[in-house]
Amino acid sequence: MFRQVASVSLGLLFLTSAFAQIFDVQLRGTWFKRADTWCVRIDVPTPPGAQVSTRRMEIEATDARTHESLHFDVEARGTRRRGNVIELRFAVDHPRHLSLVVRGLDIRDESGRALLYTQMLNVAAPPAMADEHPHLGAGARAGLAGPAGGGAPPEPPLTPGQGAPAPEPLNAPLVGSQPEDALDLPAEAPASRKKGKRKIDIPQFPFPPPRASVFQKIPREFFVAKNATPRLRDVEATLTAAFERCGYGDKSFYAVPDGFAMASRLEQMNADGTPGPERWSLEVNPMRKFAVRDYLQALFHARPGHYRVVVFMVTNHPFKQKDAKVNSDEAGAWVREGLNELPSEIGDRDFTDDYACTALIYEFKRVGNGAATFVEPSELSAHDHLDRSGLLSAMQGHGR
């Protein structure tokens, strides 16, 4: 038994040290009190000359013991001599053991190389809660060290792309006891303040996306005409309004790196791209009105069913489509498996100049009883698809 415990402990120690080697920057967090308000300062120790951008930063905070989501305001972001600091103001009466997830930090060294950082970190409460002064002892060190005698707070679960929890070395230097003295903290625009939100498991859209029949970048003007500094939720509003105007009832949202994807329902269309009379049916359209020409056409020629799924992908990551074909069942399931609305943690991001909205059209054709097959490339251009479905004019109309 003792050997097993020792082996596990050694393994954990090894993993911890391995993680410590992987990340270039290890975030550290500490509690301190300012004007009767408990705050957490996150230190981003960076090498000299490194640049830190917090524009797309998002932070989640949970009580490490109860897993309760905690609300906070981003009090300040600024620079110090030894790196950047971010201060969070919590509405709590006493410090708690915190699990923080910090996403969206862009840290680059002098040469412009992006540095990896630990997205998850634990912040231990000071050992003596009554001690309201931020003179933190060894037990207040952040990370895996944990409070003296209190044991380490439980690790938050790892999720893909989030990296590993911060492996704080035991002899890590503590941040200053009077942070406000040393800080140069130009408060950012109030709009950039973020509230702690309940964590939602956002389904991920395949990224890079599977190969589309055709695709087109949507002009940025459609989204910025009304609002000079739009957010992703404004883009989503434009797309949703266009969907509604064009009769697309169902849609669903997925997360993509630093953005979102919005998928439509599988719809049947005519060969020219206009919506078919039996738009939401997977059966081939019957003859609604008898005409000799139409009858003869139907008698002697195959009547394939044309179907499509439109996916709008909004991200600031340029992508090359994956060399993988999607079938009609998979594409049809996109509308069922995503979220019904865009989570605010994505919607609150700024739709900056480096963002682009790309329409991916997945077209399928079914002849006879067989399954619908992926059409590549489509006989229509992406512009034709968007124009004849009405989406293009709807987006233009909403943008004006």
Partner 1 sequence: MKIRKRKPHKAPNEEARIDLDSARNRLLVTWLSGAFAVLILVVIQSIIGRFEGFAQEFWGWFTPTIFPTLGLMLGVIGSTASEDDEGRTVKKFFFLAAVLLSIGYLILLLLTLLLEPLAGTHDMKYYNLANYWLAPIQALVVAAVGALFNSRKKTR
The interface region with partner 1, picked from 27-35, 239-247, 255-263, 288-296 by CB under 8 A, is 288-296
Q: Which is nearer to partner 1, 3 or 301 (by Cβ)?
A: 301
Distance CA 139, CA 125 (A): 8
Shortest separation between residue 203's beta carbon and partner 1, angstroms = 34
Shortest separation between residue 296's beta carbon and partner 1, angstroms = 9
Q: Under the criterion CB under 8 A, does residue 287 sit at the interface with partner 1?
A: yes
Q: Is 361 left (phi over 0), alpha (psi -120 to 50) or beta?
A: beta
Q: Is 161 left (phi over 0), alpha (psi -120 to 50) or beta?
A: left
Q: Which is nearer to partner 1, 186 or 370 (by Cβ)?
A: 370
Residues 290-309 that bind partner 1 (CB under 8 A): 290, 294-295, 298-304
Is the separation of the CB atoms in 323 and 384 below 8 Å? no
Binding-residue pattern over the window 365 to 384 for partner 1, x denoting contact by CB under 8 A: --xxxx--------------
Binding-residue pattern over the window 331 to 370 for partner 1, x denoting contact by CB under 8 A: ------------------------------------xxxx
Buried b / exposed e along 364-377 (16+ C-beta atoms within 10 A): bbbeeeeebebbee
Beta strands in the chain (DSSP E): 28-34, 37-45, 51-53, 58-63, 72-80, 83-90, 98-103, 106-108, 120-123, 214-218, 251-256, 259-264, 267-269, 305-315, 356-366, 373-374
| Total residues interacting with partner 1, rule: CB under 8 A | 18
- The residue type at 206: P
Shortest separation between residue 372's beta carbon and partner 1, angstroms = 11
The widest CA-to-CA distance across the chain, in whole angstroms, is 91
Q: Which is nearer to partner 1, 4 or 369 (by Cβ)?
A: 369
Q: Which is nearer to partner 1, 150 or 286 (by Cβ)?
A: 286
Q: Which is nearer to partner 1, 109 or 278 (by Cβ)?
A: 278
Shortest separation between residue 266's beta carbon and partner 1, angstroms = 19
Q: Which is nearer to partner 1, 2 or 300 (by Cβ)?
A: 300
Of 202, 225, 284, 333, the one binding partner 1 by CB under 8 A: 284
Q: DSSP string spanning 56-101?
A: T-EEEEEETTT--B--EEEEEEEEETTEEEEEEEE--SS---EEEE
Shortest separation between residue 327's beta carbon and partner 1, angstroms = 16
Is the separation of the CB atoms in 298 and 96 below 8 Å? no
Q: What angle do CA 386, 392, 397 make, to 5 degrees?
A: 165
Shortest separation between residue 307's beta carbon and partner 1, angstroms = 15
Q: Which is nearer to partner 1, 205 or 374 (by Cβ)?
A: 374
Binding site for partner 1 (CB under 8 A): 283-284, 286-287, 290, 294-295, 298-304, 367-370
